[in-house]
Amino acid sequence: MNASLVLALDFPSADEALPLARRLRGVVPWMKVGLELFTAEGPRVVSELKNMDFKVFLDLKFHDIPNTVKGAAKSAASLGADMTTIHHAGGERMAKAALEGVREAGYPTLVFAISILTSTSPLEAGYTTDGEVTKAVAAKALQARTWGLPGLVCSGLEAAAVKAATGKDFLCLCPGIRLEGGSDDDQRRVVTPAMAVKAGADFLVMGRPIARAADPRAAAMAALENMAKVC
């Protein structure tokens, strides 16, 4: 199994996020800094996580005119973010601008396109069935690959179709991961860690099921064990 677990540090302050990250050193290799934490704390939280030897996923979901996204992606790469996100809906010129920004920064940040948020049901996304969503996501993946992006964010329900459409080197990052019996919270297209790995996911993003667990370390271990079940 080559899939990596990413913990979403969805907290309002570094004082809450960083102690949890510290407790999970050596267990979870990637930490995700999203809109809430970055808006509150800014770049220093990325530096602190890098200093703890984590790989950092700066998930700011850029979606703006190409020039603005180029600058934002350049800033993310200059910070040492190992991965970042743009919205697929921003189109080809925006995606290429993001890649250009990363190139100018000279740090190999992976830029992933968000396809359809895992928190939306097929109906909310404008489709009637899971199958239609899968088809649409696979088509977005093909486009993203053509634009030169290394991967796509999608649900584990779509990962196999994305891989089939694009080839195994195009990376799949899947949020909306839940252990059996856990709450879906606001997510709608969820799978277990084992299902995501089996479908070919390269990165599994989990937040609340680990971060809000009574014992986050045990929850992370349970997720990793479930991921390993596939082999």
Catalytic positions are 61
Place of tokens 């899968």: 134
Residue 96 beta carbon to ligand C5P: minimum distance, rounded to whole angstroms: 21
46 belongs to the binding site for ligand C5P (CB under 6 A): no
Check: CB of residue 195 under 8 Å from CB of residue 176.
Answer: no
Distances (CA, A) of 38 to 35, 47, 138, 178, 199: 5, 12, 30, 24, 31
Question: In this structure, are residues 11 and 36 in contact, taking their beta carbons and an 8 Å threshold?
Answer: yes
- For residues 134 and 202, give the distance between their C-alpha atoms in angstroms, rounded to a whole number: 17
Return d(Cα 223, Cα 225) in angstroms, integer: 5
Stretch of 15-23, 40-48, 130-138, 206-214 lying at the interface with ligand C5P (CB under 6 A): 206-214
Distance, in Å, from the CA atom of 155 to the CA atom of 158, rounded to the nearest integer, reads 6
Alpha-carbon radius of gyration of the chain: 17
Q: Which of 133, 153, 171, 219 binds ligand C5P (CB under 6 A)?
A: 153
Closer residue to ligand C5P in complex, CB, 181/231: 181
Among 134, 143, 187, 192, binds ligand C5P (CB under 6 A): 187
101, 122, 200, 207: which one contacts ligand C5P (CB under 6 A)? Answer: 207
Of the candidate residues 160, 185, 217, 221, the single one contacting ligand C5P (CB under 6 A): 185
CB 215, min distance to ligand C5P, A: 17
Give the C-alpha separation, 207 to 178, whole Å: 9
Q: Is 192 in the site for ligand C5P (CB under 6 A)?
A: no
Q: By the criterion CB under 6 A, which residues form the site for ligand C5P?
A: 8, 10, 34, 59, 114, 117-119, 153, 175-176, 185, 187, 205-209
